[in-house]
């Protein structure tokens, strides 16, 4: 079985540009999570979805960040406009149900904003 | 609020040494506890879990026991290998059963041959 798929794996962009990160969860999983990892702040939960519905977006840093899940097999995290402080590794994870705590992580997208 | 505290790293050990990584938690209710591992350049993956007090989770030679009286879930391994070099995250589930995990800050383990 394919695991969680994220694209791109690496993204380098200039400040002010729009960035879109993509995630395909494991087939049949109903919960999806977006995390951000930095040296300074560690691993932070940005937002998570159950059955394609956003449940908790309290971790989204500010209005420049938005996330969507139009269907069970695809989610996006968008940053517009991007800033250097957004540089981080962004992980997507999925789990079978909202009560299944085993989360399967993708390989991450390393974002660099110059 | 609910939180997880791990010992600061990096932890540097020689091959075959005994490993302990401390983890303590604060939570309302009865959370489940987890250890995740992140190998270089990869995402996190579940290493072991325990869902109630006194449960012992184990996998790949690693063990951790859910101690409610000391609110701890320390990770141990009797003999580490170079391939165990990674970042280890302790985590707990929120008692609200939302599927959300609270992660500790991670502890880097470096094992030297």
Residues A70-101 pLDDT 10s: 999 999 999 999 999 999 999 999 998 877 77
Using pLDDT thresholds of 50, 70 and 90, give the confidence band for residue A1. Answer: low
Where chain B has pLDDT below 50, the residues are: none
Our CA-based measurement puts residue A4 at a distance from the nearest CA of chain B, in whole angstroms, of 10
CA A111 – CA A78 distance, rounded (Å): 12
CA A3 – CA B106 distance, rounded (Å): 23
A112 part of contact set with chain B, CB < 8 Å: no
Our CA-based measurement puts residue B25 at a distance from the nearest CA of chain A, in whole angstroms, of 17
**Residue A108: is its pLDDT beyond 70?**
yes
Write the residue in B42, B46, B106 that is nearest to A43 by C-beta. Answer: B106
Which stretches does DSSP call E strand in chain A?
A: 5-7, 10-13, 19-24, 31-38, 42-50, 53-56, 65-71, 74-79, 88-95, 104-105, 109-113
Q: What is the per-residue pLDDT across A2-50, written as a single tens digit (0 to 9) for each?
A: 899 999 999 999 999 999 999 999 999 999 999 999 988 888 999 999 9
- Tokens 């401390």 label which residue? B22
Q: Among candidates B8, B52, B56, B59, which has minimal Cα distance to B36?
A: B59
pLDDT of residue B88: 97
Phi then psi dihedrals of residue A86, to 5 deg? -85, -10
Q: How far is CA A3 from CA A33, A93, B17, B26, B30, in A?
A: 14, 10, 33, 32, 30
pLDDT of residue A36: 95
Cis peptide before A8 (omega within 30 of 0): yes
pLDDT of residue B45: 94
A108 part of contact set with chain B, CB < 8 Å: yes
Using pLDDT thresholds of 50, 70 and 90, give the confidence band for residue A102. Answer: confident
Rg (CA), chain B: 14
């Amino acid at each position: 079985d394919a695991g969680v798929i994220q694209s791109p794996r690496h993204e380098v962009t200039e400040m002010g540009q729009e960035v879109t990160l993509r995630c395909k969860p494991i087939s049949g999983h109903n919960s999806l999570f977006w995390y951000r990892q930095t040296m300074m702040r560690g691993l932070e939960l940005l937002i998570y979805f159950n059955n394609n519905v956003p449940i908790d977006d309290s971790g989204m840093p500010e209005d420049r960040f938005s996330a969507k899940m139009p269907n069970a097999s695809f989610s996006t995290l968008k940053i517009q406009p991007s800033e250097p402080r957004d540089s981080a590794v962004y992980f997507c994870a999925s789990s079978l149900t909202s009560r299944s705590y085993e989360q399967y992580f993708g390989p991450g997208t390393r974002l660099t904003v110059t | 609020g609910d939180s997880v505290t791990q010992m600061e790293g990096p932890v540097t050990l020689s091959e075959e040494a005994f490993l302990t990584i401390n983890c303590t938690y604060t939570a309302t209710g009865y959370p489940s506890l987890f250890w995740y591992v992140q190998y270089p350049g990869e995402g996190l993956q579940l290493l072991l879990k325990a869902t109630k007090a006194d449960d012992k989770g184990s996998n790949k030679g690693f063990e951790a026991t859910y101690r409610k009286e000391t609110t701890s879930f320390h990770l141990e391994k009797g003999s580490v290998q170079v391939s165990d070099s990674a970042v280890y995250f302790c985590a707990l589930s929120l008692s609200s059963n939302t599927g959300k995990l609270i992660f500790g800050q991670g502890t880097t383990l470096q094992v030297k041959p």
